[in-house]
Structure 1
């Protein structure tokens, strides 16, 4: 057995393939077949685990590279071609293709293919519910089959079956393309021979489909923005102004410009000041000598022109100020206001309205991107909170953290924030400043902050997030997030609950700050072990390492009223020994250990410990 095990370990260390491991195990099985079989089974399991981990790492890298490639393309046609080429390569399929949803006709139509040779197949339309792709479109769920022509789970039609037969397809897998719950199309991978698709392959195709859906929608909107800018330039009254607006707006939008860049460009084209307000009247951007916002409600938000435009959705003018609402998909996102110039002619008015349209596209893109990132962070934080404390660092979680800028292998503090339900989203957004992750989780907001001082983090969050309505913060840590946050999250929640039970809303604290008060209020969820470790841990650790009895000495000293001789008699040692031990206790606990408040904590912890030991 040792010889078999050593040989298999050597092969594993050399990264030998499974076939070589199997062959070597069989060669060595002559003397002890049963033992060799067990060793072979263990070695093959280790090999399979290593292969699976490498495959997952390669898939993640491929998806990240795919996201970079799709983000670099602005033409919808180029994005579609890149998607099907990537799908074919990632899944190892003979053919990949993408069908887009046609809301006017209520079906999907073939839009891009890779590896296809049939013109009939490339022109195919899939009614909802018909064939595998039509079922994916109808249910918005993935489906796959190793042998489509003979699979009676799907509603076969003459047109679909003829096109599939002409292409020679046998195995087909399709996943839906969804963006914010809206159906965009179906992404397929197919083979011209029998192939049972594995679940991890379906999941990989689904992940690519999610990236593809977002990239496709973004590229469409970029094209729409470019078209809107073309229309803006055409409607402009002056050739010079039209050229300037077209060149500048197009360059800004397609190069990733923000609302502030559009406001500045519009102000320079029309020679005026420009302010962009959000839907709550808060300034998002400005250009030129606009009126000061003042304190409280911005006067521009209350201006008659702004109010009129909010009601009509059109350009309005009053008191030397012009305003037009910024809307997208029937939702008002804000207002573009401008002034400081003479009256606008018809062409200049259309310029302002077109600028508002471009601003709406940018705000809508920013809102959707923020929502997508919020969901990503919420899901990651939920997975970390659900992971048991002390688990091995998860490579997938670490990589997901890197994608959102969080170093999950470094020390962090976990905080739980209690606030009014209607404030949770705003509190999560405000808490994200300086945090690795912040999101709503159940009836609270959970925040993950880089650092090691839980008390300082709790104080800072309570101060920053409080206002008219208080935010109560319990914190725990430090902890390495990739190893699980379940324990730290539970401690932070207990601390936040204890603050509310103590009548201290709007305060921030770590468990150590509450002392025995947090333990008492904790009820059935009280963390007695954690409390004992915080209060007596340094002494207990010292006793375990040195074989001493500092805990017992401290208990005897308190029990005898703080007298060295009485404690010595209780312990059956010399008074000098008690004095030496008390000196060591002071060095471990700090010079304030005899102060009334600290002494009370120590006596309570000693009594709880004695009850634990004798109970």
Structure 2
């Protein structure tokens, strides 16, 4: 028979009250097995205690057992269902006697047959990592137990374990007092956790019905769990996080995680709460289900909400296309304002995948809440178009990407017709920042250095001509790429052969041999004076040229 969270909370409260009020160990254990049998809805319930010296467990108290032989069962740990549960694992069987997956003892099997027991379910009684025995239920008919029955027995075993420990410590008044306090604390925690689970379930359902986003859902959850929660993607990046709004002097006692499900995968929900590890895990599992739904909902809304912005950017970058609809200019002016130069920023995610792009979009979406600014995804990049000046856009955008794994470039278009060239220039600078290994900043032509200066006009042919003038002998030679990479590593290392070898993971002698080959192609003067600078710039542009795609709309 199934149970509800509310029913279980009531039973836990009643058992905790018995622990606090019943002085007789026999009465206390009898009360527990009776309530367990009623709560789980089985024919029999019983508690076993472990004899560590003999490596056995023996039945201590029963409810519903008909034969003395069954009530007196002793069996080695690890045998049967009882021995497995008393050994520390949740164990069950839908029909014990024919179950070949269990270790059978002939004498015990005869006792079980006489008692008429078929299906058995057991959970360990564990306190502070030590297994004291097992809490068992059984039916005289075969059949599997329900999820509710398993979860109920597991939770009841947590509290029953406190009771068994209390009984074992009755010989010491001091120990009994400490254990009573511990049992009361565990009682309060379990009851509070069950109430929290029910409240959290209702709250999160309501948040989804009201179409709240993931961040709102997590913030609402903190009011129930009294702890922090975060959602991470498959790479470990935080997608959303929330902490309690009220000051709490206590530190979280447990952390737990649960995987996102369905289309929200891969990802994880992590919580930090004041609860037992078991209860923390249950809360994390519940939150993961709701967070998955909210995350998929958020992504769907993003796709719909920003489809218009993607269209605008596409129209803007095709402003010179004669086949572009005449209405595009009006759309752009309405979004950005009708006058003034426009500033275009291009951001390249460090990881060229969909999760990486979505992370970067989330970082900069807040800019779109301000008028005269568009944020959209375009050709695997994030494009920001604004009527702000270059300095104003830097001031707004740089803090948003400072900790993001991306590379940024920015350029200004004086008119709508110059927007495609400005985009190409910004994309080129962003690619140069990636090649130079400078993430988390928004660079203009000045920050891109000489490479940026070569790209300032937005004309890739300028850079191509410069590279050809200084490097064509290497480009045309066999293994040209290897020689070009060696020359660049050598100049980057200020002529230090060993450092260049480490950069390329080669032996220094290999570097020397390649340098001799380069000398024969370019002449020895390429390592000296002004010629050295020209070659270095040409090599840098050669490297960038492989990362700078042109705008194709």
TM-score, L = length of structure 2: 0.39
TM-score, L = length of structure 1: 0.36
- Structure with more contact order per residue of length (Cα contacts < 8 Å, sep ≥ 6): 2
Bigger Rg, which one:
2
